[in-house]
Structure 1
């Protein structure tokens, strides 16, 4: 049965009740699409913004919020408090996953998760087993609320004295939720450039989206094991790779932008430059905030940022991209091939299925970015190629960084970005599902030889 046939008749009647015909990836994609439509309808209301939004602008903003991207055709400051609350709700639901909220509702009502819903939540969280799923869902929500509350409290120490109690608390809460969910939405048109030299803001916000990008499975492992020697291989890889890639990216960003008067070179103190270099190095994976003008960065820095956006954060996290673990597996496979050994990490071998999945996910990511860029070159060829490429990678990685061309794109170009944001958010999960549930053939063929390289 094709997808459209299953969509027209989504339920199958069995002696034990109705069963959903749609696969978990299809349900996730439809769920996110429905959330985008609902969010677009709410943002279209006159009470949601101080300016009149058309359907295209409202739907693009809602899609960007649900996919926790941050690309915008309308400044967040143009929305009323009601509109900002809608945005915040879409960011929270999109970041944690709508199936997580559905599962939590069932758990709070005392119901046991049916197998079909367990599969959906498992795909949304990137889990590979059904064991302890209820505990993981509770941990996801409780941990998110705790971290966001702590982050909002710390940010309030700076913004409440500056903006007053009501505006300061709201700004703190909004940015804390947006940062933890790697959304990149800010209440100010210039993002966080006004606080480029404020350690309390840059360090708290960067800490929030780094923690959110580690992955809930890693957080759960740290909570349970508490010792480095007992951590799983994935936890060790994610922690070490996160630290290494952030430090290397910071050094590279500092070297490339140190004398650029429009970015780091325009800052007065050494501390401000180091803070800005750190923030611009970690935000592409995949937070979307910026403390300096992204459009003013050099071409080399933009290419580095694109690489970081493509890699993304950890699996089962609020971040997107091909995921950090995929990138590390590819590096380990390349190293093993050059050495003529088996790919290993921390005394454990990396299985063939993991390698195949990493290659498939990376190739799918490259293909999606290429198709998006090709379409943008056709629809918006008047704009600079680097700007279009930057926008394409940002949409795929659901990052939200932009060189300032989002609202200059044509309607077909904006529709392409919306599709890319949705596929970039749901695509890796869907691909992982199909790889995990593929059928095994009953026969094996003799190997043939193909020359590579």
Structure 2
């Protein structure tokens, strides 16, 4: 007898949302086990859920110090969540499918297209192969360099373990670290503020993870194709400008601040300013005390965190291409031009509308949550706004608020991390009703703007 119940058909955005939620829940259960806790006692489920959300959404905000609060089992669970969350659970599923020589179905290709933020399914499986190959290669090279460097400080065994662990964390822009037992809880990379090797490798991982796999593929194939796509040109230009401008702003504002750059020598100041410019692009690691920075610097970092990384990457935020489109629209309007032109290409109206929509949803979300938390958390508003933006941008930087969050605050920040990782539009498509094409259009009207 046929069932009277209709089969529930999930859209690709809905599958992504449910898939990430399932991974987070599994991670929370594992992290709440006594074997995962350094004390031998179960971590509260809320704290385990918060940590699993932060790891899977590659954020880095933590309510307990990773290095001192978790055993090796717990740390391995966290780094696996980071790898799965950074590359995407569909990418990891595809990896297993490749290993089993299983065919990728049309439905799976649609989900991969949504996960990688691609405009079409053409070449999506080939892109996933490249994503896996590039990611593992970059992480392996960085892990070897880290292991050699940290072997001098920590010994060979711990140096190798720390090298592999942090290479995965930083490439996936997670920002988790294990230096709590060595340099103090929640210390991140502050003891390596002027170390050129740690700075260069860490920033290299953060930037390469934040550029997006399409851009990395374009760069590696440039020698053969002798050209770069418009997307790659925009991403590279925006990333370079934001890093340079960010470093200059932080260097200028913090130069005389004795609690941050003021006490460092000249090359330490340069490394620290450059690192703090790179890390708000959704990385989460830091080499100076962010809570001691001047308010101007902290607010500027909020702007960088809101912009975030690039599409199809391990990072969050509204993305560099969205920000560039908005700047292009402003310049075009000021110059009296109808079209936004980037590198001699005109952007389509649908791209512009999507950029505006994404930015407005993100802005409303950040402002609303910050306003709500300002009534439940007894802390300055700038600190709350910093935390909320960090969660939305899946950055992981904090001015010290995370450990003081109330139960309600932890839930709200966890939801922000989840929304930031999946993207506001993906969540809107997943939660909203299916739309049908309109059969008519209303007459055009005019209103006064400005």
Structure 2 residue 60 is matched with structure 1 residue 63:
no
1:362 and 2:359 equivalent?
A: yes
Find the aligned partners of 1:361 and 1:225 in 2 and give their Cα distance.
31
Q: Determine the structure 2 residue equivalent to 1:212.
A: 209
* Cα distance between partner residues in 1 of 2:169 and 2:435: 36
Contact 1:180–1:211 at 8 Å: present in 2 too? yes
Deviates more, 1:111-120 or 1:224-233: 224-233
Aligned 8 A contact 2:203 2:275 in 1: yes
TM-fit CA distance, 1:92 = 0.2
Contact 1:123–1:433 (CA under 8 A) maintained in structure 2: no
Partner of 1:25: 13
Structure 2 residue 155 is the aligned partner of structure 1 residue 164: yes
Does residue 152 (structure 1) correspond to residue 143 (structure 2)? The answer is yes
Taking the TM superposition and a 5 Å limit, the aligned residue runs for 1:339-418 are: 339-341=335-337, 342-380=339-377, 382-418=378-414
Shift of residue 251 of structure 1? Answer: 0.5
Counterpart CA distance in 2 for 1:152 and 1:179 is: 10
Deviations 1:259-287 (A, max 9, x none): 101100121x2111100000001100010
Where 1:130 maps in the other structure, the secondary structure is coil
Give 1:34's match in structure 2, choosing from 19, 22, 46.
22
CA distance in structure 1 between the partners assigned to 2:331 and 2:26 by the alignment: 47
Aligned pair partner of 1:258 in 255, 259, 263: 255
Matching residue of 1:5 = none
Alpha-carbon displacement from aligned partner over 1:229-285 (angstroms, at most 9, x marks no partner): 621101000011111110011000100101101100121x21111000000011000
Long gaps (5+) in structure 2 = 180-185
Counterpart of 2:420 in structure 1 is 424
Q: Once the 2 structures are TM-superposed, how far is the Cα of residue 192 of structure 1 from its aligned partner?
A: 0.1
Question: 1:367, CA displacement in angstroms?
Answer: 1.2
Q: Does 1:450 align with 2:440?
A: no
CA distance, structure 2, for counterparts of residue 225 and residue 124 of structure 1: 25
8 Å Cα contact 2:316/2:423 also seen in 1:
no
Within 2, Cα distance between the matches of 1:133 and 1:298? 45
Could you tell me which residue of structure 2 aligns to residue 6 of structure 1? none
Alpha-carbon shift at residue 433 of structure 1 (Å):
5.9
Per-residue deviation, 1:414: 0.5
Matched residue, 1:89: 80
TM-score, normalised via structure 1 length? 0.93
Q: Between 108-117 and 285-294, report the one with greater CA deviation.
A: 108-117
Say which of 25, 36, 42 aligns to 1:48. 36
- Checking the alignment, whether the CA contact within 8 Å between 1:127 and 1:217 is kept in structure 2 is no
Instruction: Quote the Cα distance in structure 2 between the aligned partners of 1:429 and 1:206.
Output: 29
The 2-side partners of 1:45 and 1:442 are apart by 55
Kindly tell me: are residues 228 and 403 of structure 1, through their superposed partners in 2, closer, same or farther at Cα, counting changes over 3 Å?
farther
Q: Over aligned residue pairs, what C-alpha RMSD do you find?
A: 1.7
2:289 matches 1:293: yes
1:177 maps to which residue? Answer: 168
Q: What secondary structure does 1:266 align onto? A: coil
Work out which of the residue numbers 119, 126, 138 in structure 2 matches 1:135: 126
CA displacement, residues 292-345 of structure 1 (integer Å, 9 cap, x when unaligned) = 001111100000000000000010000000001000000001111111111101
Distance (whole Å) between structure 2 residues aligned to residue 74 and residue 432 of structure 1: 31
- For 2:239, the equivalent position in structure 1 comes to 242
Equivalence for 2:318: 322
Matched, 1:111 2:99: no
For 1:204 and 1:368, locate their aligned partners in 2 and report how far apart those are by CA, in whole Å.
Answer: 34
Q: Would the alpha carbon gap of residues 30 and 303 (structure 1) be closer, same or farther in structure 2, given more than 3 Å must change?
A: same
TM-score where L is the length of structure 2: 0.93
The question of whether the paired residues in 1 share the 8 Å contact of 2:358 and 2:425 is answered with: no
Partners of 2:148 and 2:160 within 8 A in 1: no
Deviation at 1:439, TM superposition (A): 4.2
Which residues in structure 2 correspond to 1:226-241 (within 5 Å)?
226=223, 230-241=227-238
Shift of 1:222: 2.1
> How many Å separate the matches in 2 of 1:54 and 1:68?
21
Among 69, 84, 91, the alignment partner of 1:100 is 91
How many aligned positions are there?
434
Q: Structure 1: which 5+ residue stretches go unaligned? A: 1-8, 13-19
Aligned-pair CA distance for 1:174: 1.1
Q: CA deviation at 1:105?
A: 1.8
Q: Distance in 1 between matches of 2:225 and 2:210?
A: 19
> Structure 1 CA distance, aligned partners of 2:64 and 2:83?
20
Partner of 2:182: none
Post-superposition Cα deviations, 1:193-214, rounded to whole Å, max 9, x if no partner, equal: 0000100001100110100000
